């Protein structure tokens, strides 16, 4: 199986018929790869990504925005860590979006992420994003009350408005030279339980656990519905979702890596060349250096 057929299983670029239950969190595309083999494939990907990143930076035209969304313990942090391990930190910007600050709440919901968009030539990573505004805020509508919106604008229709705003925003990004790739790490409920228990039982992992995580888990079904709806409403060819099986970490990393590499390759970038009118000057510089 090549990387394109692999990715086709997980890419959603038209949400109309999308249903989360058609996607198995434990899927690994029939690959049963030895740990060493998975590591090698990942290292391969890291190497290709490093080369692509260099052209991206040199060419300085496109920006890449990768968005990571998932339930707790789905492996967002570790996917980000592994996928980005080989690339030049100068060309990469990671932002984690937490509970909004008072200043952030005093602005529209796209403000804080817009300020954090990657510059041209860079890869931006959003660990959570404006999608929280149709996920956690939808599951806990009381969060809307903290947003200081004029009361007339707060009704059941707000989610539809937010989806429309996100669609328009991502369309605008695509038309401005952003490659937008969105990842939902799809974890099963049972695997989340297992990982929470592992965190509770390991002094070196305990810091990752918070009591709030168990509280959120109680809203599992509401979250799954919110994710399904968000993907249905916002999947597009210029801003696809990848619904990545998350029960097996090695596979999650491979799919994310493949999607980022494939996305960058689709840009068909080349290194900038010397413009014809500058040729002569470059030749002069070369001769001067050679004769020194």
Contacts with ligand AMP by CB under 6 A lie at: 97-100, 128, 132-133, 136-137, 143
Q: What does the DSSP 8-state code read for residue 274?
A: -
Q: Give residue number: closest CB to ligand AMP.
A: 132
Nearer to ligand AMP, 109 or 251 (CB): 109
Integer Cα distance of 263 and 130 in angstroms: 21
250 binds, among Mg ion, ligand AMP, none (CB under 5 to 8 A by kind): none
Q: What are phi and psi of 19, to 5 degrees?
A: -135, 130
Q: Which is closer to ligand AMP, CB of 92 or CB of 96?
A: 96
* CB of residue 199 to ligand AMP, shortest distance in Å: 12
- Using CB distances below 5 to 8 A depending on partner kind, what does residue 132 bind out of Mg ion, ligand AMP, none? ligand AMP
Which H helix or E strand runs over 255?
helix 249-266
Taking the least distance from each CB to Mg ion, the nearer of 54 and 77 is 77
Q: How far is the CB of 206 from Mg ion (least distance, A)?
A: 13
**Closest-CA residue to 245 (of 15, 31, 16):** 31
Q: Is 122 helix (H, G, I), strand (E, B) or coil?
A: coil
Residue with tokens 């041209």: 120
Structure tokens at 124: 């931006």
Instruction: Name the binder of 199 from ligand AMP, Mg ion, none, CB < 5-8 A by kind.
Output: none
Q: Which does 133 bind (CB under 5 to 8 A by kind): Mg ion, ligand AMP, none?
A: ligand AMP
Half-sphere exposure in the Cβ direction for 24 (13 Å, CA): 6
């Amino acid at each position: 199986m090549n990387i394109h057929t692999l990715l086709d299983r997980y890419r959603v670029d038209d949400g109309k018929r999308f249903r989360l239950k058609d996607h198995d969190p434990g899927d690994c595309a029939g690959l049963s790869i030895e740990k060493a083999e998975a590591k090698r494939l990942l290292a391969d990907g890291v190497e290709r990504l490093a080369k692509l990143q260099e052209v991206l930076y040199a060419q300085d035209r496109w920006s890449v925005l990768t968005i990571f969304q998932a339930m707790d313990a789905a492996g967002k942090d570790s996917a980000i860590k592994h996928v980005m391990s080989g690339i030049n930190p100068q060309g990469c910007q990671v932002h984690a979006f937490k509970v909004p600050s008072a200043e952030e709440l005093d602005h529209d919901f796209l403000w804080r992420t817009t300020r954090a968009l990657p510059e041209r030539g860079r890869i931006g990573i959003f660990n959570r994003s404006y999608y929280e505004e149709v996920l956690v805020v939808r599951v806990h509508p009381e969060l809307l009350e903290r947003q200081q919106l004029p009361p007339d604008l707060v009704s059941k229709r707000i989610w539809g408005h937010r989806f429309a705003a996100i669609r328009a925003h991502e369309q605008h990004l695509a038309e401005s030279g952003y490659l937008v790739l969105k990842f939902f790490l799809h974890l099963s409920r049972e695997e989340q339980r297992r990982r929470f228990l592992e965190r509770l039982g390991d002094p070196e992992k305990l810091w990752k656990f918070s009591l709030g995580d168990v509280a959120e888990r109680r809203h599992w079904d509401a979250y799954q519905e919110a994710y399904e709806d968000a993907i249905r409403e916002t999947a597009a060819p210029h801003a696809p979702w990848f619904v990545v099986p998350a029960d097996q970490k090695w596979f999650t990393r491979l799919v994310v890596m493949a999607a980022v590499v494939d996305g960058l390759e689709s840009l068909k970038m080349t290194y900038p060349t010397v413009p014809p009118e500058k040729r002569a000057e470059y030749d002069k510089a070369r001769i001067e250096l050679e004769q020194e």
